[in-house]
């Protein structure tokens, strides 16, 4: 959940399908109007406008993000995923606008909140609480969080789902996909149907708070003996499909550590990488949403606080072993083995053009070169990162090569990328090779 305090004034969540569809229609009309005005101006200056250039303007990005933020639910969640590149893919000015979707969620008005709680807990629910703060402490795409204290003394964080979210997931995903197709950014030859179907399935899972409660409890048990991590305790007596009750855990935004001493930044980033590797190779259970707001830092104890387990995913043993084989090949500098592992993982098909296979293999080898050398990996070192980004962008420019990897791979890469971006944000230095070695057999010395 985002860590910023929501604006004082709430905004009702459109909960009926017709009202949400009308919002999308209004968004599309406004974007089209902006495109016509911008196109006319360019023609008057003797310029030849393109559809992509007309759509991806700051004015249109502002309109789209504002509407997605008001809709919340799956529409906002999809927009958040598109804005997670940290400025490395989208133009910086558009990234800054899109990042509002991660920070500016509007909460429900009190009347709408009380309607939800009356339905979930019954109209006498207040008798169970000594205090329930109506103004939330956080608001996000699917729900908002309230601080509360029960009559029996429990200090809780209560996550309440926005009304109508679950019922609107399928149509929201379809409408956002239609906007992407309109932009011309997605080649018509690319089959996105499997990815969209999986996005809907994943969002339905995230909207089931009883499922998230089970995942929260599993992670709490898995990390119970590791004092460096703090996972909120589940309170099942107050948890329903639309309300999740857990213990309140204090903490500051993990990004605030960017100004902390280097040693503390390095320690916290080491904990993040260690957890990622345990999720992949030991637990085969991963919280795949690396939104920075899902991690907090408790300065009093030094613990890394873990939040939001809605995007938790079980990993097949095969995918874990494919990644182990890829790392093994990377450490050994064995390009044929690395290429075979990439095909198994689904980075590209076996019949993909050889020049693209070679380019991706080179990118992987560049990344592994820093990890093969003993010592600290500096997440803030931009030279190698810039080279990799430039090569990746060159490959992406060939739209005929665009390929949708298997869904497990997509979610894993989202998590890897998010953790890497967080390491970059913190300017951390971590001995990543030493952390990887226990999970990779036959590492070259």
Question: Exposed (0-12), middle (13-18) or buried (19+): which is 59, by Cβ within 10 Å?
Answer: middle
In angstroms, the CA 245 to CA 206 distance is 15
In angstroms, the CA 23 to CA 118 distance is 27
Determine contact, residues 230/275, Cβ cutoff 8 Å: no
In angstroms, the CA 88 to CA 201 distance is 28
In angstroms, the CA 313 to CA 288 distance is 7
Q: Catalytic annotation on 334?
A: no
Determine contact, residues 247/406, Cβ cutoff 8 Å: no
In angstroms, the CA 73 to CA 299 distance is 32
Q: Choosing from 266, 289, 308, 408, which is the catalytic residue?
A: 289
Q: What share of the chain is helix, strand, coil (3-state, %, to 5)?
A: 60, 10, 30
In angstroms, the CA 420 to CA 273 distance is 9
In this structure, what is the dihedral angle of CA atoms 181, 187, 188, 194, given to the nearest 10 degrees?
Answer: -80
Would you list the DSSP string of 213-268? HHHHHHHHHHTTT-TTEE-PPB-GGG--SSEEEEE----EEGGGGGGS-HHHHHHH
Would you list the DSSP string of 293-308? GGEEE-TTT-PEEE--
Determine contact, residues 234/212, Cβ cutoff 8 Å: no
In angstroms, the CA 299 to CA 394 distance is 42
Which three-class secondary structure state does DSSP give residue 132?
strand
Distance in angstroms between the alpha carbons of the first and the last residue of the chain? 42
List, by residue number, the catalytic residues. 289
């Amino acid at each position: 959940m985002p860590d910023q305090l929501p604006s004082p004034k709430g905004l009702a969540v459109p909960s009926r399908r017709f009202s949400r569809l009308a919002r999308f229609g209004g968004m599309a009309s406004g974007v089209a109007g902006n495109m016509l005005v911008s196109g006319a101006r360019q023609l008057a200056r003797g310029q030849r406008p393109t559809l992509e250039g007309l759509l991806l303007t700051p004015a249109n990005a502002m309109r789209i993000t504002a509407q997605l933020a008001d809709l919340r639910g799956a529409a906002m969640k999809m927009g958040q995923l598109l804005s997670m590149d940290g400025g490395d893919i989208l133009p910086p000015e558009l990234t800054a606008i899109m990042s509002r979707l991660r920070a500016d969620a509007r909460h429900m008005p009190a009347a709408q909140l009380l309607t939800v709680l009356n339905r979930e807990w019954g109209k006498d629910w207040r008798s169970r609480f000594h205090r329930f703060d109506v103004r939330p402490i956080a608001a996000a795409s699917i729900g908002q969080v309230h601080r509360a204290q029960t009559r029996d003394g429990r200090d809780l964080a209560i996550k309440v789902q926005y009304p109508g979210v679950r019922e609107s997931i399928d149509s929201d995903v379809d409408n956002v996909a239609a906007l992407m197709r309109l932009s011309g950014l997605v080649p018509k030859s690319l089959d996105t149907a499997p990815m969209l179907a999986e996005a809907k399935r994943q969002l339905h899972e995230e909207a089931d708070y009883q499922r998230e409660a089970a995942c929260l409890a599993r992670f709490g048990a898995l990390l119970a003996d590791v004092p460096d991590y703090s996972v909120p305790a589940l309170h099942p007596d107050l948890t329903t499909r639309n309300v999740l009750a857990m213990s309140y855990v204090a903490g500051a935004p993990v990004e605030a550590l960017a100004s902390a001493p280097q040693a503390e930044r390095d320690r916290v980033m080491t904990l993040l990488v260690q957890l990622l590797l345990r999720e992949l190779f030991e637990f085969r259970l991963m919280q795949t949403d690396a939104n920075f707001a899902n991690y907090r830092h408790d300065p009093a104890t030094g613990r890394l606080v873990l939040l939001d387990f809605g995007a938790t995913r079980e990993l097949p043993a095969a995918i874990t072993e494919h990644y182990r084989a890829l790392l093994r090949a990377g450490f050994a500098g064995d390009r044929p083995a690395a290429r075979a592992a990439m095909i198994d993982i689904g980075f590209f098909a076996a019949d993909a053009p050889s020049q693209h296979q070679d380019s991706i293999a080179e990118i992987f080898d560049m990344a592994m070169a820093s990890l093969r050398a003993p010592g600290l990996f500096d997440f803030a070192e931009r030279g190698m990162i810039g080279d990799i980004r430039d090569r990746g962008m060159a490959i992406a420019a060939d739209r005929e090569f665009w390929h949708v990897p298997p869904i497990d791979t997509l979610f894993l890469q989202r998590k890897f990328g998010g953790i890497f971006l967080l390491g970059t944000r913190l300017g951390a230095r971590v001995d990543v090779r030493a952390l990887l070695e226990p999970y990779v057999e036959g590492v070259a010395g």
